[in-house]
Amino acid sequence: MPTHLLDVDDLTTDELTTVLDRAAEIKADGAPDLLDGHTLGMLFEKPSTRTRISFETGMTDLGGHAIFLGPEDIQLGHGEPIKDTARAVSRYVDFLMARMFDHGDVEELAEYASVPVVNGLTDDAHPCQTLADLLTIRERFGSFEDATVAWVGDGNNVCQSFVLGAAMTDLDLTVATPEGYGVDESVLDRAAELGSVPATTTDPEAAMADADVVYTDVWVSMGQEDKREEKLRAFEGFQITPDVLGDRTLMHCLPAHRGEEVTDAAIESDNAIVWDQAENRLHAQNGLLAWLSEQE
């Protein structure tokens, strides 16, 4: 059976460390022939900037090849069952990356694929972003023990994967969300099995009190446009400004809705490491693909 990454806790703690170490090594030294002759199929239901470019560039850097497969490019967008697409495409490529709405669709893809499937984002999880985030924090602070993080905003897919990654690395995390927008209880249960459950609160100021890092994300995710006005009202008081941020480090997975969850001044400040995060999508995913290739 192939090894899949549908969420970050599909890795063991030791495997997560290995992936991050491989990412750091490849970032420092390169590995131009590592995936020579390998092909990555990239299935996209959702639009993307960082996911597509980082995976495609990464495969080129490692000596392989990537193929973009949008909903209008293949039969998946015209009624072919996911299981049929999975079995057919697996005959042509060495890895599959899928960026989809329904997490169950990625699970079905993995069930029927005969090659590793990587979740490039679903409505429930974004493990590749968490790998990049953890790599960035480790680079910035030297170790996870030396950083305290406050998540301020929506308990969305990015937050949920980050909660699991924090539990696996013993990263001190507090999550502040408005009432009704918190992390799913099932994710908190998984975090408890992995390590520690993050502290949760509806008070962003309390969450940030002892934090070294403030992490935020959009309040209105793709597919939630009909809830925009409702969410903007619910998230009043959660915006990150330079005054709120103080001397803390700012993280954001991007794209940012400047003027909503974060101000332009905050994201343009010297405290922001959002571009390091964006770059580390490339390196973290290279580390992941290198590790997956070694599981064959």
Secondary structure of 113-145 as H, E, C letters: CCCCEEEEECCCCCHHHHHHHHHHHHHHHCCHH
Residue 253 assigned to a binding site: yes
Rounded Cα distance between 173 and 239, Å, is: 19
At what angle are helices 157-169 and 185-194 packed, to 10 degrees?
20
Specify whether the CB–CB gap between 120 and 129 falls below 8 A.
no
Residue 79, pLDDT above cutoff 90: no
Q: What is the mean pLDDT of residues 55-69?
A: 97
Establish whether 257 is a catalytic residue.
Answer: no
**Which residues contact residue 28 at a Cβ distance below 8 angstroms, ignoring those fewer than 6 apart?**
none
Whether residue 156 is annotated as binding a ligand: the answer is: no
Clarify whether 103 is annotated catalytic: no
| Res. 65 pLDDT band, cuts 50 70 90 | very high
Task: State what percent of residues in the chain have pLDDT above 70.
Answer: 98
Q: How far is CA 277 from CA 29, 127, 151, 248, 283, in A?
A: 19, 13, 15, 16, 10
| 286 marked as part of a ligand binding site | no
> What average pLDDT does the segment 118-147 reach?
97
Which residue out of 38, 159, 253, 283 is catalytically annotated? 253
Average pLDDT over residues 31-39: 97
Average pLDDT along the chain? 95
- Closest residue by Cα to residue 183 from 163, 203, 204: 163
Contacts of residue 195, defined as CB under 8 A and 6 or more positions apart, other chains included, come to 13, 166, 167, 168, 169, 170
Residue 164 annotated as binding site: no
> Has domain 126-275 been given CATH number 3.40.50.1370?
yes
CATH homologous superfamily for 2-124+280-292? Answer: Aspartate/ornithine carbamoyltransferase (3.40.50.1370)
Q: Which residue out of 123, 124, 129, 172 is catalytically annotated?
A: 129
pLDDT of residue 73: 76
User: Is residue 129 annotated as part of the catalytic site, yes or no?
Assistant: yes
Residues 6+ apart with CB under 8 A from 76: 43, 69, 82, 85
| 146 has binding-site annotation | no
| Residue 221 is assigned to a ligand binding site | yes
List the Cα angle 184/95/15 in 5-degree steps. 55
Query: What confidence tier does 80 reach under pLDDT thresholds 50, 70, 90?
Result: confident
Residue type, 247: D
pLDDT at 220 > cutoff 90: no
pLDDT band at 29 (very low <50, low <70, confident <90, very high): very high
What does the pLDDT average to over 201-221?
Answer: 96
Higher confidence at residue 158 or residue 47? 158
Specify the 3-state DSSP secondary structure of 71: coil
Residue 258 bears catalytic tag = no
Task: Give yes or no for residue 169 having a pLDDT over 80.
Answer: yes
Q: Annotated binding residue at 186? A: no
Which residue among the candidates 38, 126, 138, 252 is catalytic per the annotation?
Answer: 126
Active-site entry in 4, 22, 52, 99: 99
**Does the active-site annotation cover 126?**
yes
Q: Is the pLDDT of residue 192 over 80?
A: yes
In which residue are the tokens 């209880």 written?
185
Catalytic residue from among 138, 252, 281, 283: 281
Q: Is the pLDDT of residue 86 over 80?
A: yes
Q: Spot the catalytic one: 217, 252, 277, 285.
A: 217
61 is in an annotated binding site: no
Cα R_g (the chain), whole angstroms: 19
Is 127 flagged in the annotation as binding?
A: yes
Task: Calculate the alpha carbon distances from 279 to 218, 253, 269, 274, 276 in Å.
Answer: 19, 11, 18, 9, 5
So what's the pLDDT on residue 74? 72
State how beta strands 39-44 and 172-176 pair. unpaired
**pLDDT-above-90 percentage for the chain:** 91
Q: What is the pLDDT of residue 77?
A: 61
In whole angstroms, give the CA distance from residue 128 to residue 158: 9
User: CA-to-CA distance for 117 and 101, rounded, in angstroms?
Assistant: 15
Q: Vertex 165, ends 161 and 166: CA angle to 5°?
A: 115
Same fold, 2-124+280-292 and 126-275: yes
- Report whether 159 belongs to an annotated binding site: no
* 239 given a catalytic annotation: no
- Name the residue ranges covered by the structural domains of the chain: 2-124+280-292, 126-275
Look at residue 228 and tell me whether its pLDDT is greater than 90: no
Residues for the chain: how many in total? Answer: 296
